[in-house]
Homo-oligomer: A and B are copies of this chain.
Amino acid sequence: MATIYEVAALAGVSPATVSRVFNGHTVSPEKVRLVREAAATLKFAPNRTARRLRNQSSELIALLIPDIENPFFTALARGVEDRAQESGFSVVLCNTDDDPAKETRYLEIAMSEGMAGVILAPAASDGDLAQIVAQGRPVVAVDRSTGFDIDAVMVDNRAAGAAATTALFDAGFRRVACIAGPLGIESTEERYLGWRQVVAKRSDGTDAPEFLQHANYRVDGGRTAMAALLALETPPDAVVTTNNLMGVGALQVLAEAGIAPPAFGVAIVGDLPFTTFSPDVVTQVHLPARHLGVTAASMLMDRIAGDTQPARIVVLRARIASDADADSV
């Protein structure tokens, strides 16, 4: 890997001039040509590590997500990437597994790597954000909020939960259960509260406490919970799941039991990935995953550019998906 010194020598100029050429500063056209030629023959590319050490910041941002295998988060990542790309930033993706320790470790790496900023979908209980925030590095939270006074992009989870539930009642179901995520995850709590609100208003009173199931946020969690629901003495006739993967699990169990929708009502907060179900049959409350990513990245870019306004919270709307949607996942 050639250095600016070698390029400078070949072009007959000083290293500083080479640096200027590559940073868009004013240099006489003649020397620009000389430098570019020299750089080309030497296949020179500026060493980003050295540049970063000097500048104390890079064109790299970190994106920490809990589960890279969940299409919701990959769509979000895609949005982040596209927006970051536009501003010349590259994205480092880190999988936290919803593990606060891993989250903290990656946060530390992001700092000591001198990354320009981080977008964080926080784990259930926060890792140690304190340090990175104190240091003044830009951080944007996405999907879940943190205890810190930082920018955040959220979804109106309660409304989403309510919308899913309402759709089921409107379709004529009366005994609407809920498969919620683990306790302590904000987005899940909110979606579950949306469900409860609507049930309180519209149910005919036959719903049992067992109609609320807590499960892990994955396919197998959905399976377990759905099986438990079906085993009840008086089972529900419909179910709301508070995320996409649990919805898949529920549908699998239903299919195996021979009571696939629309015989049994299913509404999902989130998008059913790669589904063969029509939105007419399984209600999906579309979460703007990609848009969340784009928005978060935009906010981060602002901060990196030096924006110092007070922390903003942006809340995006979820909406019932229809066949007309060509959007995402």
Contact = CB atoms under 8 A, between A and B. Distances in A.
B95 A81 contact: yes
Interface residues of A, number: 51
Contact of A49 (B53, B260, B273): B53
A256 B276 CA distance: 9
A81 B67 CA distance: 12
A48 B113 contact: yes
B255 A274 contact: no
Interface stretch (A104-112, A139-147, A205-213, A304-312): A104-112
Copies of this chain: 2
Interface string A34-68: 00000000010111111011000010100000001
A262 to B, nearest CB: 14
B74 A78 contact: no
A65 to B, nearest CB: 10
Interface stretch (A194-202, A245-253, A294-302): A245-253
A33 B108 CA distance: 22
Interface string A90-110: 111111000000000010110
Interface in A80-137: 81, 90-95, 106, 108-109, 111-114, 131, 135
Nearest to A250: B276
A248 B272 CA distance: 12
A77 interface: yes
A273 B274 contact: yes
Given A43-B131, A75-B69, A93-B93, A114 B276 contact: no
Nearest to A220: B326
Contacts of A111: 1, 45
Interface string A271-288: 011111110000000000
Nearest to A57: B49
B95 A92 contact: no
A108 B45 contact: yes
Contacts of A75: 69
Given A68-B74, A68-B81, A69-B75, 20 more contacts: A45-B111, A47-B53, A48-B109, A49-B53, A49-B112, A50-B53, A69-B71, A71-B71, A71-B274, A74-B74, A81-B95, A90-B94, A90-B109, A245-B274, A248-B276, A251-B276, A252-B275, A255-B278, A274-B275, A276-B276
16 contacts: A45-B111, A47-B53, A48-B109, A49-B49, A49-B53, A68-B81, A68-B93, A69-B71, A69-B74, A69-B329, A71-B71, A90-B94, A90-B109, A91-B94, A276-B276, A276-B277
